[in-house]
Amino acid sequence: MTTSEQQKQLLLQTDRMASLGQLAAGIAHELNNPIGYILSNLGSFQIYLAIFQQLIRLYQTQAQCLPGTAEFLQLQRQINELQQQENIDFLLKDCEDLLADSVAGAIRMKDLVLDLRRFSHPDHADMQPVALIPLLESTIRLARNEFKAHIQIERDFCENGPEVIAQAAALSQVFVNILLNAAQAIGPVQGNIRITVRQDDARVQIAIADSGPGIAQQHLQQIFEPFFTTKDVGKGTGLGLSICHTIVQQHGGELSVQPTSALGGAEFLLSLPQAPTDR
């Protein structure tokens, strides 16, 4: 790898880490939620397990007694009282629900960790077919807390999820940057981000539109220039969209922006080579 290529890789990785830093609080929140209710569920399991152990011990003791004896009948009364007092049928059903919730939470954490690894790991792999829709969903999960409750993500995907020729981590970096810019443009007010995916001959078209204030006409020609930013001093490096433009070009694609969209804000348009279908 030449010095120039190494510098480009370093710049891409630096921007990727900056994006992760911006997402860090949201990612921690996304991990903390399932961790919280899994720990709560485990606490309930501990209580339920003690009750089940007590019931099992009574059954084991009763099994050693002759049926009909005073000791056998006394143990049966204790078993009946414990079952009524603790509502064993409810506890068994609740165990099923707690287990299902815990498994769902663990899967959610596993998916987020995989998303993080996929996004943050330096991508030196060759271009290869990448399923676009799962990659978009992975990126949305990473950035989900940035949208909070006031930004609605609208999906308009084509039926047969296309594959594109790409490096997955690099392409995810493009989507993260555009989604974060859209969320910042919308700000704290109610808003929408619409992601549209369409297939067109041998290419895939992705449009990401937001309901923010849009981009001023005089900035359109500079939006992908290195270090150009309309953000306040200290709020942005001006490299994010420039890097996005470079990544898309390296993928044999095109990246452009329109000042207004159907939602009222800006719309970023990506065109990428579709993976051959006759592999």
Q: In this structure, is residue 278 part of a structural domain?
A: no
Do 257 and 150 share a structural domain? yes
Q: Could you tell me which residue, 137 or 278, shows the higher pLDDT?
A: 137
Please state the rounded mean pLDDT for residues 204-214.
Answer: 90
Q: In this structure, is residue 244 part of a structural domain?
A: yes
Span 41-89, pLDDT tens digits: 999 999 999 999 999 999 999 999 999 999 999 999 999 999 999 999 9
Question: What pLDDT score was predicted for residue 115?
Answer: 79
Question: What pLDDT score was predicted for residue 239?
Answer: 54
Please state the rounded mean pLDDT for residues 82-103.
Answer: 94
Please state the rounded mean pLDDT for residues 232-260.
Answer: 74
Q: What is the CATH number of the domain that holds 25?
A: 1.20.120
- Top mean pLDDT of 23-32, 72-81, 251-260, 268-277 is at 72-81
Q: In this structure, is residue 256 part of a structural domain?
A: yes
Do 227 and 117 share a structural domain? no
Q: What is the CATH number of the domain that holds 225?
A: 3.30.565.10
Do 169 and 71 share a structural domain? no
| Maximum C-alpha span of the chain | 95
Q: In this structure, is residue 215 part of a structural domain?
A: yes
pLDDT-derived band at 216 (thresholds 50, 70, 90) equals: low
- CA 250 vs. chain centroid, Å, equals 25
Q: In this structure, is residue 19 part of a structural domain?
A: yes
Q: Are 184 and 176 in contact (CB under 8 A)?
A: no
Do 102 and 83 share a structural domain? yes
Do 6 and 111 share a structural domain? yes
Do 57 and 41 share a structural domain? yes
Do 266 and 147 share a structural domain? yes
Do 266 and 137 share a structural domain? yes
Do 17 and 144 share a structural domain? no
Show which of 122, 139, 170 is a domain's final residue. Answer: 122
Do 190 and 132 share a structural domain? yes
Q: In this structure, is residue 242 part of a structural domain?
A: yes
Owning domain of residue 75: 1-122
Please state the rounded mean pLDDT for residues 187-212.
Answer: 91
Percent of the chain with pLDDT over 90: 42
The number of domains in the chain is 2
Whether residue 219 has pLDDT greater than 90 = no
Do 58 and 33 share a structural domain? yes
Average pLDDT, the chain: 83
Whether residue 192 has pLDDT greater than 70 = yes
One-letter amino acid at 277 equals T
Q: Model's pTM, two decimal places?
A: 0.69
Show which of 65, 92, 122 is a domain's final residue. Answer: 122
Span 126-171, pLDDT tens digits: 788 999 999 999 888 888 877 878 899 999 998 777 899 888 888 9
Show which of 122, 156, 173 is a domain's final residue. Answer: 122
CB contact set of 248 (below 8 Å; sequence gap of 6+): 174, 254, 255, 270, 272
Least confident of 134-138, 182-186, 214-218, 228-232: 228-232
Question: What pLDDT score was predicted for residue 111?
Answer: 84
Do 181 and 85 share a structural domain? no
Question: What pLDDT score was predicted for residue 235?
Answer: 45
Span 21-52, pLDDT tens digits: 767 777 787 788 889 989 999 999 999 999 99
Q: In this structure, is residue 170 part of a structural domain?
A: yes
Question: What pLDDT score was predicted for residue 72?
Answer: 94
